[in-house]
Amino acid sequence: MADYFAIKTQTQEEEDNKPMCPKMTLRQRITGWAVCYGFGMFLNLLSWITMLTGSFSENLVTFAILYSLGTFTALLGSCFLSGFCAQIKKMFDSKRRITTIILLTSIILTLVFALALESAGLTIAAMLIQWCASFWYSLSFIPGGHTAFKAVVKRCFGRS
């Protein structure tokens, strides 16, 4: 009877490693991630379609909002896989900290450059940094991803 009323505590690590939706099966969590990632990529594509089908300066704000929202949605989708707290910890571990800061800063700067400064050049530059940081961040979750990418780049550009 005493066990029934005992308060069970969890360590911080156990709490952090809880998935965002613990009652979801692995398949459902992967589906959640895929939907978020897919929707994020759809928003990125839509941003380019918006930009290419009209006046560059008129569609700059729409482009920046859609592109940044797409990147952010794709990034948040990973919370389905590992849990929100665990994902935040992974984002800021020593292996990913600089890339994460660059990625989040470039998302903010893309919006600032488009909304406040209305500068197409700076917006596109921030978006390119955003894309590169997102790509590098994604590679960090693939074992040997950075090493393999560097090897491919060296091979393509003739440096052995």
Backbone φ and ψ for 23, nearest 5 degrees, come out as: -85, -5
**16 belongs to a structural domain:** no
pLDDT of 70 > 90? The answer is yes
What residues make up the domain containing 96?
21-156
95-106 mean pLDDT? 96
Length of the chain: 160
**114 belongs to a structural domain:** yes
Largest CA distance in the chain: 73
pLDDT of 125 > 60? The answer is yes
Determine the pLDDT at residue 6. 46
Determine the pLDDT at residue 57. 77
The average confidence (pLDDT) of the chain is 86
- Give the total number of structural domains in the chain: 1
87-91 mean pLDDT? 92
State how far the alpha carbon of 158 is from the alpha carbons of 128, 144, 145, 152, in Å: 25, 21, 20, 10
**139 belongs to a structural domain:** yes
